[in-house]
Amino acid sequence: MKHGPSNWWWPPALALVAIALCAPCVLDALSMPVVERIPTCTPCHGADGNSRIKNMPSLAGQPEFFLLNQLILMREGVRRIEAMAPFVKDLTDADAEALAKHFNKLAPQPSGEPIDPALVERGAKIATQRRCGSCHLPTLAGQDQMPRLAKQRIDYLILTLKSYRDGPRPGADTAMSAGVAGLTDPDLAALAHYAASR
């Protein structure tokens, strides 16, 4: 499964939920040094970088360059995520680098969602057929601009995979869309369970 430079997208409804959850932090975040900005990320992405909120991505253990790239793309408006706009608007490059380093160093943990062994087995076969490991590594730990899929939230992965398959996905290149083309909803669920289990 290949990802282009802009590979995470939140549906409008999810963006509104995130704004509601994070709104109290927004004004404070705009003028904070990066060390003080980190706690503004935790209501959505978890105190340890592992999200406990439905459809909200975990950031712990994501490749540093991937995180940096996404923050810069969001800051520049290439990736338009309404909920994130206030947080990234005034980020300096140094701030973005520091945030990327921070979340990269955190240990990814399972989300606590039930993992179906039968779906894991099916997902492993699909991942092999679709050569997911060629970009995301065989462990699905990600590399460079390719995100970690291992231990990511199942619900978030399903949403993301569907957005690639069904489009339009703002700012994404077509490689990942081609990677999931023709897969059914059960196929995508199987891939998500497999990734989460890694």
- pLDDT score, position 14: 53
For domain 12-105, the CATH architecture is Orthogonal Bundle (1.10)
In whole angstroms, what is the distance from residue 162 CA to residue 164 CA?
5
CATH of domain 117-197: 1.10.760.10
DSSP notation for the chain: ----S------HHHHHHHHHHHHHHHHHHTT--HHHHHHHHHHHH-TTS---STT----TT--HHHHHHHHHHHHTTSS--TTTHHHHTT--HHHHHHHHHHHHHSPP--------HHHHHHHHHHHHHTTTHHHH-TTS--BTTBPP-TT--HHHHHHHHHHHHH---TT--HHHHHHHTT--HHHHHHHHHHHHH-
pLDDT one digit per residue (tens) for the chain, 198 residues: 444 444 545 555 555 455 455 544 444 444 566 678 888 899 999 999 999 999 999 999 999 999 999 999 999 988 888 889 999 988 999 999 999 999 999 999 999 999 999 999 999 999 999 999 999 999 999 999 999 999 999 999 999 999 999 986 666 667 888 899 999 999 999 999 999 999
pTM across the whole model: 0.80
d(Cα 171, Cα 79) in Å, to the nearest integer? 6
Domain definitions of the chain by residue range: 12-105, 117-197
Domain 117-197 in the same topology as domain 12-105: yes
